[in-house]
Amino acid sequence: MNQLTERQKLLLTLIVHGHTRTALPVGSKSMVENFNLPFSSATIRNELAAMTALGYLRQPHTSAGRVPTEEGYRFFVGNLVQQTNLPATTRNTISHQFYQSPLGLDNWLKLAASVLAQQSQAASIVTAPHSNKISFKHLELLSTHAAQVLMVLVLMGGEVRQRIFALEEVLGQEALSRIAQRFNASFQDCDLEQVSSGAKDLSPSEMEIYAHLLDEMQLAANLVTGDVYLDGLNNVLAEPEFSQSEQALSPMRLLEERTLLNDVIQRTVMNEELGGVQVLIGGEGTWEELRDCSVILTQYGIPDQITGTIGVLGPMRIPYGHTISTVRYLGDLLSDLVSETMIE
């Protein structure tokens, strides 16, 4: 690992900040002017040449200023970025909004997406929290119309799932309630496996209902269907690097297609740094669509029990310090909210 001198680190930091602000390459002369540094532009040029050779900087063309490479950003985020805690006033404004918002997890998630988008001036992504291990909490069966039944299933963690189906035979509300009561008694706190092995002496109608119950739990376990809240798409579209609409399409696709998003989230949950916040810079060689983007993500919720993801997608020159802090703060906030409303 090639170490940089302190002065080189300073220069890298300045270039990152400068380029973050202006979206333009930054050159030696302008650096001296703007930051009035204690050395001359020629000195800086020498340093920049060295860092370019090391792969941390890049020139869009001969005789332009320098721009950080992916490597450069990675080094910056790994070693140089300063972990500012969000100022107290900002924190208060945000938590106040949550306090004022109507109750309910989905409202909070929407709000989190909205706040994050506004704070980071980028696109935000919030996935609904999801129990890793599903377990049965409560079942309700309601007669709706003829043989049709509305099934409401409550899982550990407070996840509520509903399904409407029709039975072969018409059953009244009393009969349905009795069945629900029986299932509630036998499956209390059972996980998917226990429920699937625990069926005995069922009548045909009970068997049908049991099948739907099992199916719904399985669906919840795999949960391809988890809600995803997006906000601030226009922020990323407004960035100059995405001004040609083609360029903007690829990251947009990522946000719209669930599968890609899941892929990114799953592969990113590996290591723990920056207080659990993950930073993915420029696709990391894996995601061609993200060549010019960075993604900043964190998990929230209760580890190994019920977790969701909150994060941001923006241009590679996103203000890392502030964005990382914001993502972490909102992640912690959502974690608190989730554990408060958690069913034990």
Partner DNA sequence: ATTAGCACTCTCGAGATGAGAGTGCTAATA
Partner DNA sequence: TATTAGCACTCTCATCTCGAGAGTGCTAAT
Nearer CB in complex with DNA: 6/288: 6
**How far is 45 from 127, CA to CA, in rounded Å?**
45
Query: Shortest Cβ distance from residue 138 to its own copies (Å)?
Result: 6
Q: Which does 62 bind (CB under 5 to 8 A by kind): DNA, its own copies, none?
A: DNA
Residue 225 binding its own copies, by CB under 8 A: yes
Binding positions for DNA, 159-188, rule CB under 7 A:
none
Binding positions for DNA, 17-36, rule CB under 7 A:
25-30
The answer to whether 298 touches 328, Cβ cutoff 8 Å, is yes
Residue 160 binding its own copies, by CB under 8 A: yes
The answer to whether 310 touches 126, Cβ cutoff 8 Å, is yes
Only one residue has tokens 């989190």, namely 112
Q: Which does 249 bind (CB under 5 to 8 A by kind): its own copies, DNA, none?
A: its own copies
Cβ neighbours around 53 below 10 Å, total: 10
Residue 150 binding its own copies, by CB under 8 A: yes
Of 154, 129, 108, which Cα lies nearest the Cα of 306?
A: 129
Only one residue has tokens 């988890």, namely 226
Query: Shortest Cβ distance from residue 175 to its own copies (Å)?
Result: 16
Angle formed at CA 160 by CA 159 and CA 162, multiple of 5 degrees: 145
Size of the site for its own copies (CB under 8 A): 42
The answer to whether 113 touches 322, Cβ cutoff 8 Å, is no
Q: Which does 27 bind (CB under 5 to 8 A by kind): its own copies, DNA, none?
A: DNA
CA distances (Å), 19 to each of 26, 236, 260, 325, in order? 6, 16, 29, 20
Binding positions for its own copies, 86-125, rule CB under 8 A:
102-107
Give the contact letters, 235-264, x = binds to its own copies (CB under 8 A), - = no.
--xx---xxxx--xx--xx--x--------
Nearer CB in complex with its own copies: 156/264: 156
H or E stretch at 39: none
**How far is 341 from 344, CA to CA, in rounded Å?**
9
**How far is 117 from 124, CA to CA, in rounded Å?**
5
Q: Find residue 232's DSSP bridge partners.
A: none
**How far is 135 from 76, CA to CA, in rounded Å?**
43
Sheet holding 136-145, edge to edge: 136-145, 148-155, 160-166
Among 45, 133, 163, 178, binds DNA (CB under 7 A): 45
Segment near its own copies (CB under 8 A); pick from 62-70, 133-141, 200-208, 292-300: 133-141
Residue 341 binding its own copies, by CB under 8 A: yes
Query: Shortest Cβ distance from residue 74 to DNA (Å)?
Result: 21
Residues that bind its own copies (CB under 8 A): 102-107, 137-138, 140, 142, 144-145, 148, 150, 152, 154, 158, 160, 162-165, 219, 225, 231, 233-234, 237-238, 242-245, 248-249, 252-253, 256, 341-344
Residues that bind DNA (CB under 7 A): 25-30, 38-43, 45-46, 48-49, 52, 59-66
